[in-house]
Amino acid sequence: MASTLLRLAPLVTTTSSLTLCAAQSLYLGPFLHPSVGGISLLMPLYGLTIGTSVANLFFSEPQALKAAGARELYMGGLVFSVLHFAFVPFVMYPVRDIIEDRSKGKSTGDLKKWLGVHFIRSLVVDLPGWACFLGGF
């Protein structure tokens, strides 16, 4: 078991590094190129999450979903994924202010506001949604 974990560790850490690299480009790139808005990059991901959640609820074998309580977990994951968008009113203005440079080169405060909401959203919506999908799997 220890040797398996040791062999798996570099795969997990490089996967994490690649995820971070992709995330940095995905989330910071739109600030340099406002014509490619972050919404156009995020909506397909959330669309896929919501769509595949619904597909699991309607098209998966009923016995498989009932056996482990997976149906309720997928439903929970779906609800949390939709709730991600409840935070839009709290992040859209700081993001707009950063993109439009309303603070005239001092957007650190705007970024701090966005990161604060992002952290809370991650803890109360995104992480529980992920945990529901993991548990339902």
pLDDT of residue 79: 97
In angstroms, rounded to a whole number, what is the distance separating the alpha carbons of residues 34 and 1? 48
Token readout for 38 is: 């972050």
pLDDT of residue 35: 64
pLDDT of residue 19: 87
Tokens 């440079």, residue? 101
| Positions in the chain short of pLDDT 50 | none
Which amino acid would we find at residue 51?
Answer: G
pTM of the prediction?
0.75
pLDDT of residue 72: 93
* Tens-digit pLDDT profile for residues 80-114: 999 999 999 998 898 888 888 898 988 889 889 98
pLDDT of residue 4: 84
